[in-house]
Amino acid sequence: MRIFDDRYNRDLRRHNLALRFIQHQARTDTIRRWTGLSAFRIRALFHAYAETSDGKATTRHRGASPQRVSLFFRSPQHEFEAAMLAACCRMLGALPPKPVADPERALPGVEHGERVCQAFETFHVIVPDSQITLEHAILLVLALARGVELTLGRCESCAGLIVINQLEIRRRLCVYCKHESVADEHIEP
């Protein structure tokens, strides 16, 4: 009986994670990579359970998942939200403590997927109007885990947590300190 219970619990966790991903409008390929379920099973789950809490059908994104980290630096709001999401991921264990050579292979799995979902859901409680999707959160987690293009660091002025684009050469300031430095430049004669 014990072997059956373990397999049942594992399958139930995969199923529940797939449902969470569906509720967050993740693409079929993303759900497949993180849960190990077949595309057929994911589509069946979507058709059976894809309703929001208000009774409306969940929409699904089509096409390729986001792959450009430049989204996180488009505006001060995007930078702020990326830092908040990274903080949630770090606190809830969705980010590995050290860089990972191949995060696309090492990280996807049920346990890690549950952590990413929990971090994403926590982030949306803190920033409810954010346009960052679960797919963007996964992109951020994978890029930070790789540690080549993006890393976490501290603001040079206030020591707040920031996401650093390693490909840019500029002062490492959080959104608020950047705003303050620009305001100070305009005040001085």
Q: Give 70-108 pLDDT, tens digit per residue.
A: 999 999 999 999 999 999 999 999 999 999 999 999 999
Judge whether 62 lies within some domain.
Answer: no
Do 87 and 10 lie in one domain? The reply is no
Judge whether 176 lies within some domain.
Answer: yes
Judge whether 18 lies within some domain.
Answer: yes
Token pair in block for residue 11: 């399958």
pLDDT tens track for 10-68: 899 999 999 999 999 999 999 999 999 999 999 999 888 765 545 666 666 777 888 89
Do 12 and 104 lie in one domain? The reply is no
Do 94 and 166 lie in one domain? The reply is yes
Do 103 and 175 lie in one domain? The reply is yes
Nearest to 106 by CA among 146, 148, 133: 146
So what's the pLDDT on residue 100? Answer: 94
Range of the domain at 144: 69-187
So what's the pLDDT on residue 31? Answer: 96
Judge whether 81 lies within some domain.
Answer: yes
Judge whether 55 lies within some domain.
Answer: no
Q: The pTM is what?
A: 0.87
Q: What percent of the chain has pLDDT over 90?
A: 68
Do 168 and 83 lie in one domain? The reply is yes
Taking the CA atoms of 161, 167, 172 and 175 in sequence, report the sign of the dihedral they define.
negative
Domain count, the chain: 2
Judge whether 93 lies within some domain.
Answer: yes
Judge whether 35 lies within some domain.
Answer: yes
Do 31 and 124 lie in one domain? The reply is no
- Pairing, β 161-165 against β 150-154: antiparallel
